[in-house]
Amino acid sequence: MRDNMLKWSVQEGGVSLLTFLKERIKNTTSVKAIKRAIDGRSCLVNERIERFGSRRLKPGDQVKFLLKTETAKAPLIKKLYEDQHLLAIDKPVHRICSDQELQKLLSDYKGKIWLAHRLDKETSGVLLLAKSLEAKERLRELFAQRKIEKRYIALVHGLMFNEEGQIDSRLVVKKRLSGQTIYGNSCDGRGERALTFWKCLERRAKVTLIECKPVTGRTHQIRVHMSSIGHPIVGDLQYGKRIYEEGVERCLLHAQQLKFIHPFSGEGVLIEAVVPKEIIDS
C-alpha cells in the first residue's frame, strides 16, 4: 500500500469512514468503488486494516486509502469435474456462495444448478454443485453423514513445532458485528462439536504451510481452530491480524480436495484444485 496512497488525519470525529472518504474523493470515483476498495483491504485506520465503512472515526485517527484502478474482468471459472448429476468448480476468491452469485458465475446452466455446500468468500478451491434437486439432497446427506473427506491447505502465522495434531472443541457464536458473525470455542460445553486434524507441510521464516482435514463442517471452523492455538491464517482479518501485509489480499485458505463415493454411480470420486500461487509462494 505505497503507490498512489492518500493520507488524512481526522480533525472532527463522529463521521463514518465511508462518509469521510466520500467527501474527500467523491470527484475521483463512485461510492460503490469506494465500498469495494474498503472491502478489498485498501483502507487503514491507525495502521490497521478497516473493512467496515460504518466505523465511526475519532479526532486524531490516521486514515490511509489506496484507490486501485478497477478492471471489469469476469472471473474465469475452471471446471474440475462434471457428469450428468454433479459439477465441481474451482471457486474464485472474493465470490460469495449464494444462489444469486451462482447464477452469475454459471449462467450457461440457466438456473438449473444448486449449491451442495459453501466456502467462505475469501476461500478458493473445490466447490461441489448439484445439477438437480435430487442430487443436491444426496450430496447434502453425504456431507451431513461426514462421508465426504475434505482437505484444505492454509498458510498460518508462526512456526508450528509439532508435526501434526488435532483440535476438538465446541463452537458458539461470540458476537455479531456489521452483519458478520464471529465464532469461537465454547468454555461451558455449549455449541456444536468441531473436529479438525492438521499436519505441518513446510516451515518458512515466519509462517507455516499446513494441511487441514475438518471432520465436521462448522462455519469458520478451520479459521477459528487455527487462531485458537495461536496460529491464525495469514490474511484472516476476523480471527487473525488486521495489519497490512504486503501482497496479501485475502485469507490464505484453499479447499484443495474432496473425496467421496458418488451418490448415484457408487464409484469413488477424487476432485482436486491446484493450490494458488499466493499460498505456495508467500
Task: Give me the residue spans of the domains in the chain.
Answer: 5-66, 78-144, 149-280
Specify the length of the chain in residues. Answer: 282
- pLDDT attached to residue 72: 52
Query: Annotated active-site positions, please?
Result: 120
Sign for the pseudo-dihedral over CA of 50, 56, 62, 66: positive
For the stretch 23-67, pLDDT in tens is 888 777 788 888 888 888 889 999 999 988 999 999 999 999 987
pLDDT given for residue 73 in this prediction: 63
Type of residue numbered 270: L
- CATH no. of 78-144: 3.30.70.580
User: Pick from 49, 58, 67, 56: which is nearest to 6 by CA?
Assistant: 67
Question: pLDDT tens digits, residue range 140-169?
Answer: 999 999 999 999 999 999 999 999 999 999
* Residues with pLDDT less than 50, the chain: 1
| Residue 259: Cβ-neighbour burial (10 angstroms; 0-12, 13-18, 19+) | middle
The pLDDT, as a whole number, for residue 171 is: 96
Give the pLDDT score at 184. Answer: 93
CATH of domain 5-66: 3.10.290.10
What share of residues in the chain are helix, strand, coil (percent, to 5)? 20, 35, 45
Task: Report the C-alpha gap between 117 and 114 in whole angstroms.
Answer: 9
Rounded Cα–Cα distance for residues 114 and 50 (Å): 33
36, three cell numbers? 469495494
Task: Determine the Cα–Cα distance for residues 202 and 66; give it in Å rounded to an integer.
Answer: 33
The whole-model pTM stands at: 0.87
Pick the CATH number of 149-280 from 3.40.640.10, 3.40.190.10, 3.40.50.970, 3.30.2350.10: 3.30.2350.10
Continuous segment of H or E residues that includes residue 141: helix 133-144
